[in-house]
Amino acid sequence: MRAHSQSFPQRAQVALLDERLQAALAKARGGFVDKRRAALDQLPEFEQLRVAAREIKEHTLSHLEQYLMQFEQQVELSGGEVHWAADPAEACEIAVGLCRDADAQAVTKGKTMVGEEIGLNEALEAAALRVIETDLGEYIIQLAEEPPSHIIAPAVHKSRGEIAELFQAHHHGEEFTRPLETVPDIVDEARKVLRNEFLGADVGITGANMLIADTGSTALVTNEGNGDLTASLPRVHIVIASIEKVVPTLEDATVLLRLLARSATGQSITSYTSFFTGPKRSEDIGGPEQFHVVLVDNGRSEMLGNAYREMLHCIRCGACLNHCPVYGAVGGHAYGWVYPGPMGSVLTPLMIGLDEGHVLADASSLCGRCEAVCPMSIPLPRLLREHRLQSHRDGLMKPLARSMLGFWAAIARRPQLYRWLVERKSRLLHRIAGKRGYLRHVPMAGSWTCSRDLPAPQGGSFVAAWQRRHGGKDDSQ
Amino acid sequence: MRVALFATCLVDFMRPSVGFAAVQLLQQAGCEVDVPLAQTCCGQPAWNNGDAANARKLARQMIDVFEGYDHVIVPSGSCAGMLRHHYPTVLAEDSDYSERANQLAARCHELTGFLVDVLGVTSTGAVFDGRLTWHDSCSCLREMQVSRQPRQLLQALQGCELIELPDNEVCCGFGGTFCVKFPEISTRMVNDKVDTIVTTGASTVAAADLGCLMNIAGRISRRELPIRVFHVAELLAGMTDTPAIGEKS
Amino acid sequence: MSSASRDRILAAIRRSQNNQPKAEGSIEERLKLRPRGPLPSVEGDLETVLIDRLLAAACSVAHASSPEQIGEKIIQWLQQQDAGLKLLRSTSPLLDSIDWPDTVEVYDPADGVDHSTTLTEAFCAIAETGSLVKLSSNKSPTAMNFLPDNFICVVQRERIVRHIEDAWERVRAETEGMPRALNIITGPSRTADVEQTIQLGAHGPRLMHVIIYCN
């Protein structure tokens, strides 16, 4: 998927003025935040689970090579195949190749963020395959030809009316209720349309929330059941998963599962938590004849060895998005690529390059709420600062901003000059503001005064004033 | 006990009354207070913008100025957080200063956290008549773990009715340079913050960080709302006769 | 080529791993001992907790103490739902022992799995989450859990376990290994993708009826 992250500032502005989007975001935010809180109030063991989850991830990443090989071995023992893809192009090539080998025409898909990351749908369609997203949110945005705006609820930005319009434009047939008004009507219609697709697909492609090394299983968490229908009905099941998804055992997976649904939707568990291990057994009724796992690297093996390693702990729950005031103000599309919000601001520059993605790391007040709610305790603000440090080294900061900060630092390094300037400037602004107590227009401060008054300084440096009153016993320098 | 006050650039430049209030509170609690003349900026703007070199220079300078006191007190959660949590990282590679950074960090405190947790103050004896609401600034809450302490002291003010602010944990949109780098987003955030303040019916809002307070006061002023904005130190020291932040004199 | 990539990726991982401190614990030990993490406290009688959580997950629940009663309860439920007395059922010793009256049309998976009501038996139930565990097999195609409008599932009371990990223990003890599909099912299918409003019956079953069987 092409990245438009550089235009975040402009997209953000458009998003702030989009009333439909703002209404949808407000609704979603309240729901996610409150439901998560309610779920955690019912789970006194939450903090212990967080600690345990972090330990599992650290242990696994420390032995990632061995666990991936164990996973591969177990998949093969159960009759499946594992493929390794270093980058998006290779992953798509493998997936397309498997579909061609299976003489496939129609492909159903469960929601997979890694699939978006590698541009899978475009590659499949370019190979003349018909691709049908089956997660309702993904289906909606597929019809709208838009990227997802949230990693858990891809169509969170769409109102009921917009969805109804899309369905009315794309679904034709007497069996459909018209006009489409209620939520049940919309969901029922999606059910009818997608049911046929499920039954007719040659290949089903899903993601995986986790890969279990011990058993060679892939775990998939859904509420709709679309993942299971995608995985179970077609002749071929392909799982696209990134390498950091592996965990050692089912017990380890269980720790993460306890955190995942609660952090994402406030459920203790989703309607369907499924584990797929290999193709159908010879005596099974139904099930895919082929089971493939495409392991995708795309920069993760490198992250494992650098300052961003902890980003590999992410279980894609979306809690950081839901609690981020920036995401909450502008929604997911402003981020311009696959992953939005705090986790997206860390990941995107790592995957599309810092020169394209650095503005995302900038667009944060570093409030830290993301880290506070992250079930895996990922230090997101620290990782954002890392991007900023690298951006500075790479000279990516706007020249004016860079020189102003440099100027500020130069003054701050000269205490006498600093103090003198503070004395002078604060008194000047105080005089200009007069009795009003604030300034409406200040040169070079348009970004502040466009929407805020600037409170007037009281006049004079505090430190100088204190020194005048009590000075003489100062022993600094 | 001999403490140094690191006033912070915003207090120094914008609002000396916060500095004087902080000194008064510390002296009242039995401290000998010094305000070193050579203090400037903690380097947070540099650090948050990735300018490691300048952050290091300013950190070293601060350490030189503030060593030798029992404690360093800061009337700001974000600057206290810079000293306490970030200086060790900023100077981790500096063989001369890294240990000194650790030492200083251990002795840095946000003002209200210090008053309650170290000095055991339960009441400052001041009066505040009216409805007050409290904004938890992000660094105060998350870096300095200070939220219970200011509430305790504010509730002890005679006549004070402290109302909890809904979404008190949500950022006000200041974020240092963030508010001028992304003004539209920052405006949305501060506007939401002011909306929730209005719902409390409070006549006054306070916080421990002057940056947040200027941001909130600036928006309140633009919206011409009759809500007064004070720094917690001023309230606790009973210094509410001076014009509030952004208020006309 | 995938195997060249495999080598490159594993080599890159190895390089990165060498740059980082090793966390505690050996892989052999972990795979052998399979340590459990913190368990949420689940107090009380397992069946009571299970029923409570099944209901919270929008299931309906009935009890039966004989195969005949299972049949009766199912007929009753289908009539209540106006669902028509037709069902596709999987095989198990318990389900096979149900004598269906002529009024009920009973189908076999070998003849196709797309029916509006299915009847299967769960491998076990998990009280912690209010879930039923289904294993794919030659007796019970996975599709039977997902295609119908009405999903009826019988679980034997002595097969209710307390925690999710207890289900793993059972699978290890009682089977040859993981089945092709293991589903932990907690209520009917649902979505909140339209205006954050929960709607049941997204793609999978609209209704889930659980019969707890105890002889």
* CATH code of the domain covering residue C95: 3.40.50.10420
Q: What is the dihedral of CA A165, A169, A172, A175, to 10 degrees?
A: 0
CB pairs A-C closer than 8 Å: 284
Residue B207 lies in a domain: yes
C53 vs A30 pLDDT, higher one: C53
Map out the domains of chain A with their CATH numbers: 43-302 (3.40.50.10420), 400-470 (no CATH)
Residue C22 with chain A: CB contacts under 8 Å:
62
Q: What is C60-89 written as a DSSP string?
A: EEEEESSHHHHHHHHHHHHHHTT--SEEEE
Lay out the sheet containing A272-276: strands in order across. Answer: A246-247, A210-212, A217-222, A272-276, C181-185, C131-135, C124-126, C160-161
Quick one: pLDDT band at residue A201, thresholds 50, 70, 90?
very high
Helices (H) and strands (E) in chain B, counts: 14, 8
| CATH number for B146 | 3.40.50.11810
Say how many C-beta atoms besides its own lie within 10 A of residue B181's C-beta.
20
Q: How many domains does chain C have?
A: 1
> Which of C23, C142, C196 shows the shortest C-beta gap to A62?
C23
pLDDT of residue A184: 92
Question: Reduced to 3 states, what is the DSSP secondary structure of residue B9?
Answer: helix
Q: For residue range B71-118, what is the model confidence (pLDDT) as tens digits? A: 999 999 999 999 999 999 999 999 999 999 999 999 999 999 999 999
Mean pLDDT, residues B189-213 = 98
Is B195 contained in some domain? yes
Tell whether B137 and B221 lie within a shared domain: yes
Which DSSP symbol is given to A68?
H
- Residue A475's pLDDT band (boundaries 50, 70, 90)? very low
pLDDT over 60 at A181, yes or no: yes
C114-166 pLDDT, tens digit each: 889 999 999 999 999 999 999 999 888 999 999 999 999 999 999 999 999 99
Interface test with B, best of A463, A468, A475 (most B CBs within 10 A): A463
pLDDT of residue A477: 38
User: Quick one: pLDDT band at residue A474, thresholds 50, 70, 90?
Assistant: very low
pLDDT of residue C2: 59
CB contact under 8 A, B183 and A467: no
> Which of A188, A229, A249 has its CB closest to that of C34?
A249
Q: Would you state the pLDDT for residue C114?
A: 82
Q: Which of A365, A423, A474 to mutate to test the interface with B (most CBs of B within 10 A)?
A: A365
In a domain? residue B241: no
Q: How far is C120 from chain A (nearest CA, A)?
A: 14
Q: In whole angstroms, what is the distance from residue A156 CA to residue A149 CA?
A: 7
Q: What is the distance between the alpha carbons of residues A449 and A457, in angstroms, rounded to a whole number?
A: 15
The fraction of chain A above a pLDDT of 90, given in percent, is 88
Residue C19 within any structural domain of the chain? no
User: Does residue A108 have a pLDDT over 90?
Assistant: yes
Same domain, B103 and B171: no
Q: Is residue C115 part of a domain?
A: yes
What is d(CA C141, CA C95) in angstroms, rounded to the nearest whole number?
15
Nearest CA in chain A to C130: A269
Q: How far is B130 from chain A (nearest CA, A)?
A: 22
Q: Which of B87, B117, B147 is the last residue of a domain?
A: B117
Beta strands in chain C (DSSP E): 60-64, 86-89, 105-107, 117-121, 124-126, 131-135, 150-156, 160-161, 181-185, 190-191, 199-200, 207-213
Residue A343 confidence class, pLDDT cut points 50, 70, 90: very high
Residue to mutate among C191, C197, C200, C208, with most A CBs inside 10 A, is: C191
Q: Are residues B130 and B70 in the same domain?
A: no
Q: What is the mean pLDDT of residues C87-97?
A: 95
Structural domain includes residue B213 = yes
Contacts of B72 in chain A (CB under 8 A): none
Residue of C nearest to A43 (CA): C40
Contacts of C143 in chain A (CB under 8 A): 229, 232-233, 286
Residues B227 and B127 in one domain: yes
Does residue C9 sit within a domain? Answer: no
Given a contact cutoff of 8 angstroms between Cβ atoms, the answer to whether B216 and B228 are in contact is: no
Interface residue of A366, A439, A475 to substitute, partner B, most B CBs within 10 Å: A366
Position A27 pLDDT exceeds 90? no
- How many CB atoms neighbour CB B234 within 10 A? 28
Whether C3 is covered by a domain: the verdict is no
Q: Per-residue pLDDT tens for A307-324?
A: 999 999 999 999 999 999
Map residue A206 onto helix, strand or coil.
strand
Q: Which residues of A touch B36 (CB under 8 A)?
A: 463, 474-476
The reported pLDDT for the residue numbered A472 is: 56
Closest chain A CA to residue C190: A224
A27 contacts chain C (CB < 8 A): yes
Answer whether B216's CB lies under 8 Å from B229's CB.
yes
Calculate the CA C198 to chain-centre distance. Answer: 21
pTM of the prediction?
0.96
Q: Are residues B134 and B27 in the same domain?
A: no
The range of the structural domain enclosing residue B95 comes to 2-117
Residues of chain A found within 8 Å of residue C39, distances taken between Cβ atoms: 45
Model pLDDT, residue A476: 43
Residues of A whose CB is below 8 A from B243: 437
CA quadruple C126, C130, C135, C138: dihedral, nearest 10: 120
Domain assignment of residue C24, yes or no: no
Q: Based on the domain organization, do B108 and B145 belong to the same domain? A: no
Contact C129 A156 (CB under 8 A): no
Q: What is the pLDDT averaged over residues B181-200?
A: 97
pLDDT > 50? residue A457: yes
Which residues of chain B have a CB within 8 Å of the CB of A363?
A: 178, 181-182, 185
Say whether B219 and A451 touch across the interface (CB within 8 A): yes
| CATH number of the domain enclosing B60 | 3.40.50
Q: Which residue range is the domain that position C203 belongs to?
A: 46-213
Residue B246 to residue A435, Cβ atoms within 8 A: no
Who among A243, A277, A285 is closest to C179 (CB)? A277
Cα–Cα distance for residue pair A74/A3, rounded to 1 Å: 36
Determine contact, residues A136/C193, Cβ cutoff 8 Å: yes
B165 contacts chain A (CB < 8 A): no
Q: Is the pLDDT of residue C111 over 90?
A: no
Kindly indicate the confidence band of residue A91, based on its pLDDT and cuts at 50, 70 and 90: very high
Identify whether B244 is part of a domain.
no
Question: Does B178 contact A393 at a Cβ distance shorter than 8 Å?
Answer: no
User: Are both B170 and B113 inside the same structural domain?
Assistant: no
Residue in A159, A191, A198 closest to C195 by CB: A159
**Residues B110, B26 contacting (CB under 8 angstroms):** no
> Residues 400-439, chain A: which have Cβ within 8 Å of C?
none
Contacts of A458 in chain B (CB under 8 A): 14-17, 242
**A251 to chain C: nearest residue by CA?**
C36
CA distance C98 to chain A (A): 22
> Are B145 and B113 found together in one domain?
no
pLDDT tens digit sequence for A229-276: 999 999 999 999 999 999 999 999 999 999 999 999 999 999 999 999
Stretch 252-311 of chain A: residues touching chain C, C-beta under 8 Å: 252, 254-255, 257-258, 265, 268-281, 283-287, 291, 295, 297, 301-306, 309
- Domain-ending residue, one of B77, B94, B117: B117
**Average pLDDT of chain B, as a whole number:** 97
How much helix, strand and coil, in percent to the nearest 5, is found in chain A? 55, 10, 35
Say whether B37 and A457 touch across the interface (CB within 8 A): no
Asked if the structure places residue C40 within a domain, the reply is no
In a domain, C208, yes or no: yes
Nearest 10 degrees: Cα torsion B114, B118, B121, B126:
-20
Please tell me the total count of domains within chain B.
2
Nearest CA in chain C to A24: C195
Q: List chains adjacent to chain C, taking adjacency as at least 3 C-beta pairs closer than 8 Å.
A: A
If contacts are CB pairs under 8 Å, which of residues 19-58 in chain B contact chain A? Answer: 19-20, 23, 34-41, 43, 45-52, 54, 57-58
Is residue B10 domain-shared with residue B109, that is, in the same domain?
A: yes
Q: What is the pLDDT of residues A150-168, one digit of tens each?
A: 888 899 999 899 999 999 9
Q: pLDDT per residue over B105-134, tens digit each?
A: 999 999 999 999 999 999 999 999 999 999
- Percent of chain A at pLDDT > 70 equals 99
Can you read off the two tokens belonging to residue A102? 């299976």
Alpha-helical (H) ranges within A233-339 are 250-264, 300-303, 319-323, 325-330
Q: What is the pLDDT of residues A205-225, one digit of tens each?
A: 999 999 999 999 999 999 999
CA distances from A329 to A148, A151, A366, B185 (A): 17, 16, 15, 7
Between positions 118 and 147 of B, the ones with CB within 8 A of A are 138-139, 142-143
The whole-angstrom distance between A477's CA and the closest CA on chain B is 6
Read off the pLDDT of each residue in A379-398 and give the average, rounded to a whole number.
Answer: 96
Asked which of B117, B138, B166 is the last residue of a domain, the reply is B117
